[in-house]
Structure 1
Amino acid sequence: MSSSEFDTSRLETLLPGVLQRLERIAVALESATGIQAESAFPQDAPAYRWERLHGLLGGGHLVPVREPALIRFEDLRNVERQKEAIERNTRQFVEGRPANNVLLTGARGTGKSSLIKACLQAFQERGLRLIEIDKDDLADLRLLVQLIRNRPERFILFCDDLSFEEGEGGYKALKTALDGSLTGSASNLLIYATSNRRHLLPEKMSENLESRLGENGEIHPGDTTEEKVSLSERFGLWLSFYPFSQDDYLAAVEQWLQHFGFDAARIEAARTPALLWSRTRGARSGRIAWQFARDYAGRQR
């Protein structure tokens, strides 16, 4: 028997065992990287939080949130146009019709995050689920999409206070999930993100110049600008939020004091303390109105 014949027969003998070992290694790696099989999807809950595993291989898993903090659409004031747009978009999504990813930007405390929670409150009985993910974990989006792609529910991926600094790479994974993946995003997943920044990435004055040489030696700084702007453009629906006027702020205070059981006379008496509260905070918003109402109701018993 020649050495080549011996090697071939030996290989045929060893091959089944090698394949079994490779299969076991693949299963172990899949588990270590946090890729959950469909059968391992968490027990049904209205909301989930993506929790990253910070081991050698990274990955993550979904943690059920049994009693999420929700709010009703009707409890939100001074955002009627934004409320109508996001409610319509979410209804289309839940009904299986085309719908857009949504970017909510603008003044702090004006109801951006609350509107997304209101979507869950309104549509959870119709199969809508919310997944909250931190921007630092966006590199796991591919794993998350694989996990929920074949699920019967409809999922909104909620990323709050989204923005990126120079050198952060998570925005590339987000761009791919929004529009650029070869396999496409899951048909049962939309991304709703809030930010105080319209374009999500910092821009420099030099990037708006038609110069051929950037400050850092980059030959075409305009290409960098296009890269940054393209992320926010991948959200099909933009909703902008603005600071409250004094009347808007007082209307929000009135609503929350009614929530705590105050009658009209006591609400009227609270106007001056409410305005003083907003001046000490240096802003007027729905969040500040809520904070005042809680403090005032607590002190008034």
Structure 2
Amino acid sequence: MADLGARDLLERIADALDRMAPPAASPIDLSSGDAFIWDGTAPRAIAAFDPTDIDLLTGIDTQKARLLDNSKRLAKGHAAHDVLLWGSRGMGKSALAKSVIRTLQKQGEDIALVEAPSDHLETLPALFELLAFARRRFVLFIDDIGFSEDSNEPRTLRSMLEGGASQRPANVRLYVTSNRRHIVPRQMSEQDDPVNPRDAVDDQLALSDRFGLRLGFHAASQDDYLAIIARYAEAHGLEFDREDALLWAKQRGSRSGRVAWQYIIELAGRAGKFLA
């Protein structure tokens, strides 16, 4: 009887532990789904991938056309570049990267976006292994990347882009946004470094050279800013006053697509409308 009691106790403990343990995560299906996010250990699907409609992105027509063309090549299995989108904050770099993928998906292309935070670069080889076995094309999107002066991550990223053991697979291209043209900041101290100062600078600048396509996004002129507002206002059935729109930008110290969208939200609020 003692043995039966002990066995019953062990079974109840095992049942309790099973209930406490989370269920094993099922492997995600990368062959379907519009967009995913990488958390450093596993990708998970983004439930509602609904970026800004590409037709609403104003003042960046050249960048839009070139990125859409490159992405279409990738989707069709043709030669395509890794892309660096650099420049002023709030001018649509990340919005464009996402909207071109959604545009191609609506056209029936089998391509998906995988977003990876910039602080998970060391884990990307594991992600590449997963993506390499999926029978579709992917854009690996890294937003607002930047490195400290003594970081080793620039060399890690260079290895992924070209020639390293952790090189990204053929069905994947990297789309990276940065506020700096060369990603890594150039410090004045580099010019005074007595040990191969030119080599130190060249080593850092070599990272941006690994991107076959580099698209610059510059601060909006007054006309561009007003054109962006006009486009958004028309799409959402709103009216705006030119001087009021300029005052909004002046109070925020900048003119950009982001500031323009914030003004549209303000207009919608004044009019009692909801914007998703």
TM-score range for the pair, normalised by the shorter chain length: 0.7 to 0.9
Q: Does 1:167 align with 2:154?
A: no
1:207 is displaced (CA, Å) by 2.6
Between the aligned partners of 1:261 and 1:222, the Cα distance in structure 2 is 55
Pick closer, same or farther for the CA change 1:300–1:183 going to 2, 3 Å.
closer
Is the contact between residue 163 and residue 200 of structure 1 (CA under 8 Å) also seen in structure 2? yes
Pick closer, same or farther for the CA change 1:198–1:123 going to 2, 3 Å.
same
Q: % of aligned pairs identical?
A: 35
1:139-160 Cα shifts (integer Å, max 9, x gaps): 0111111111121111001000
Between the aligned partners of 2:256 and 2:38, the Cα distance in structure 1 is 30
1:87 is displaced (CA, Å) by 0.6
Q: How does 1:86-165 map to 2 (within 5 A)?
A: 86-124=67-105, 125-165=108-148
Q: Which amino acid aligns with 1:135?
A: S
1:155-188 Cα shifts (integer Å, max 9, x gaps): 0010000111122222222111101224743111
SS at match of 1:99: coil
Q: 1:178: which partner in 2?
A: 161
- 2:27 pairs with 12, 18, 40, which one? 40
Pick closer, same or farther for the CA change 1:42–1:171 going to 2, 3 Å.
farther
Is the contact between residue 144 and residue 176 of structure 2 (CA under 8 Å) also seen in structure 1? yes
Q: 2:263: which partner in 1?
A: 292
Is the contact between residue 42 and residue 63 of structure 1 (CA under 8 Å) also seen in structure 2? no
Is the contact between residue 134 and residue 159 of structure 1 (CA under 8 Å) also seen in structure 2? yes
Q: Which amino acid aligns with 2:54?
A: F
Is the contact between residue 110 and residue 286 of structure 1 (CA under 8 Å) also seen in structure 2? yes
Higher mean displacement: 180-189 or 121-130: 180-189
1:238 is displaced (CA, Å) by 0.5
Between the aligned partners of 1:135 and 1:159, the Cα distance in structure 2 is 6
- 2:223 pairs with 247, 253, 257, which one? 247
Is the contact between residue 71 and residue 101 of structure 2 (CA under 8 Å) also seen in structure 1? no
Gaps of 5+ in 1: 1-35, 53-59
Q: 2:206: which partner in 1?
A: 230
Between the aligned partners of 1:119 and 1:85, the Cα distance in structure 2 is 10
Q: 1:258: which partner in 2?
A: 234
Gaps of 5+ in 2: 1-24
Is the contact between residue 154 and residue 204 of structure 2 (CA under 8 Å) also seen in structure 1? no
1:128 is displaced (CA, Å) by 0.9
Q: 2:246: which partner in 1?
A: 275
Q: 2:59: which partner in 1?
A: 78
* TM-score normalised according to structure 2 size: 0.84
Q: Which amino acid aligns with 1:202?
A: P
- 1:200 pairs with 183, 197, 213, which one? 183
1:42 is displaced (CA, Å) by 3.4
1:132 is displaced (CA, Å) by 0.6
Higher mean displacement: 158-167 or 66-75: 66-75
Between the aligned partners of 1:96 and 1:128, the Cα distance in structure 2 is 10
Q: How does 1:17-56 map to 2 (within 5 A)?
A: 40-42=27-29, 44-52=32-40
User: Superposition RMSD on alpha carbons, in Å?
Assistant: 1.8
1:206 is displaced (CA, Å) by 4.1
Name which one, 1 or 2, has greater alpha-carbon Rg.
1
Higher mean displacement: 81-90 or 40-49: 40-49
Is the contact between residue 48 and residue 131 of structure 1 (CA under 8 Å) also seen in structure 2? yes
Between the aligned partners of 1:46 and 1:194, the Cα distance in structure 2 is 20
Q: Which amino acid aligns with 1:70?
A: P
1:243-280 Cα shifts (integer Å, max 9, x gaps): 11111111111111112213xxx34xx21211110000
Between the aligned partners of 2:139 and 2:191, the Cα distance in structure 1 is 34
1:89 is displaced (CA, Å) by 0.5
Is the contact between residue 116 and residue 142 of structure 2 (CA under 8 Å) also seen in structure 1? yes
